[in-house]
Amino acid sequence: MFIITHRKLFLAIGAFIVIVSAIITLTFGLKLGIDFTGGSLTEVGYSTLPEKALIENALLALELGHFDVRQSHGELGDSYIITGKTLSVEEQQTLETALATLSDDAKVIRNTSVGPVIGEELKDKAIWALGAVLIMIILYVALAFIGVGYPVSSWVYGSMTVLVLFHDILVPLALMSLLGYFLGYEVDVLFVTALLTILGYSVNDTIVIFDRVREKLKEFRIEKRTKVKVPGGLDREVVTYTLTRSFAEIVGIAVRDTMARSINTSLTVLLALLALYLFGSVVTQTFIIILIAGVVAGAYSSIFIASPLLVWYADWKSKKENPA
Amino acid sequence: MDVKESNTGSQTVIRIFYALVTLAVGCGLAFFVYGNVTNEDAKFPFKLGLDLAGGSHLIYEADVSGIAPEDVPELMNVLRDVIERRINVFGVSEPIVRVESSSFVSSERAERLVVELPGVTDVAEAVAEIGKTPLLEFRLLVSADSDGNPTYADTGLTGRYLESAQLQFVGQSGQGGLSNEPIVAIAFNDEGAKLFEEITRENVGETLAIFLDGALISAPRINEAIMGGEAVISGNFEPDEARDLAENLNFGALPVPISLVSTQTIDATLGVGVIEQSYIAGIIGFALIASFLILWYRLPGFVAGVALLIYVLVNLAVFMIVPVTLTAAGLAGFVLSLGMAVDANVLVFERMKEEYRAGRKSRAAADEGFRRAWSAIRDGNITGLISAVILFWFGTAMIKGFALVLGIGIIVSVLSAILITRTLLRALPDVASESSGFWSFLFGCGLGKR
> Could A283 and B375 be called an inter-chain contact, meaning their C-beta atoms sit closer than 8 Å?
no
| C-alpha span between B294 and B366 (Å, rounded) | 17
The residues that bridge with A113 in the sheet, in sequence order, are: A40, B263
The amino acid at A88: S
Query: In this complex, do A276 and B336 lie within 8 Å of one another by their Cβ atoms?
Result: yes
Q: Are B236 and B183 in contact (CB under 8 A)?
A: no
One domain, residues A54 and A158:
no
Average pLDDT over residues A289-313: 92
Closest by CA to A81, choosing from A104, A103, A49, A105, is A49
Q: Which of B394, B396, B399 to mutate to test the interface with A (most CBs of A within 10 A)?
A: B394
Contacts of A75 in chain B (CB under 8 A): 270, 273-274
From the CA of B100, how many Å to the nearest CA of chain A? 12
Answer whether residue B362 shows pLDDT above 90. Answer: no
SS3 label, residue A73: strand
Tell me which DSSP letter residue A47 carries.
S
pLDDT tens digits, residue range B43-71? 888 888 888 888 888 888 888 877 778 87
Facing A207 at nearest CB: one of B296, B339, B379: B379
Task: Give the model confidence (pLDDT) of B145-184 as tens digits.
Answer: 667 677 788 787 887 788 888 888 876 554 445 567 888 8
Query: Which residues of B3-43 form beta strands (DSSP E)?
Result: none
Q: Considering A113, A140, A161, which residue would you say is the last residue of a domain?
A: A113
pTM for the model:
0.82
Strands B136-144 and B150-158: antiparallel
Asked if A167 and A305 sit in the same domain, the reply is yes
Compute the C-alpha angle A123/A127/A128, nearest 5°: 115
Q: Are residues A210 and A80 in the same domain?
A: no
CB contacts of B267 in chain A (<8 Å) are 107-110
What's the pLDDT at A13?
A: 93
Q: Which residue of B has its CA nearest to A92?
A: B124
Instruction: Report the number of distinct structural domains present in chain A.
Output: 2
Confidence (pLDDT) at B290: 94
Q: What is the pLDDT of residue A288?
A: 94
pLDDT at res. B446: 52
- Looking at the structure, tell me whether residues A241 and A98 fall in a common domain: no
**Tens digit of pLDDT for each residue in A261-276?**
889 889 999 999 999 9
Residues A16 and A64 placed together within one structural domain of the fold: no
Is B384's CB within 8 Å of A121's CB?
no
Q: Domain limits at A80?
A: 39-113
Higher-pLDDT residue of B217, B298: B298
Instruction: Point out the domain boundary residue: A88, A113, A138.
Output: A113
Same domain, A103 and A249: no
Q: Which of A80, A113, A146 is the last residue of a domain?
A: A113
Residue A96 maps to which CATH number? 3.30.70.3400
Query: Both A257 and A237 in a single domain?
Result: yes
Q: Which residues pair with B45 in a beta bridge?
A: none
Non-local CB neighbours of A19 within 8 Å, separated by 6+ positions: none
Q: Are A107 and A44 spatial neighbours (Cβ–Cβ below 8 Å)?
A: yes
Are residues A12 and A148 both part of a single domain?
Answer: yes
> Are residues A276 and A186 part of one domain?
yes
Task: Tell me the CATH number at A160.
Answer: 1.20.1640.10
Question: In a mutagenesis test of the B interface, which of A34, A86, A202, A261 is the best target, namely the one with the most B β-carbons within 10 Å?
Answer: A261
Same domain flag for A146 and A285: yes
Mean pLDDT of chain B: 81
pLDDT of A25 reads 95
Tell which residue, A43, A45, A208, has the closest CA to residue B51.
A43
How far lies A234's CA from each of A224, A225, A238, B248, B311, in Å? 19, 16, 13, 82, 57
- Domain identity same for A15 and A62: no
- As a whole number of angstroms, the distance between CA B306 and CA B290 comes to 9
Interface confidence, given as ipTM, is 0.86
Tell whether A22 and A143 lie within a shared domain: yes
List alpha helices for B90-227, DSSP H: 123-131, 190-202
Q: Taking residues B439-443, report their average pLDDT.
A: 67
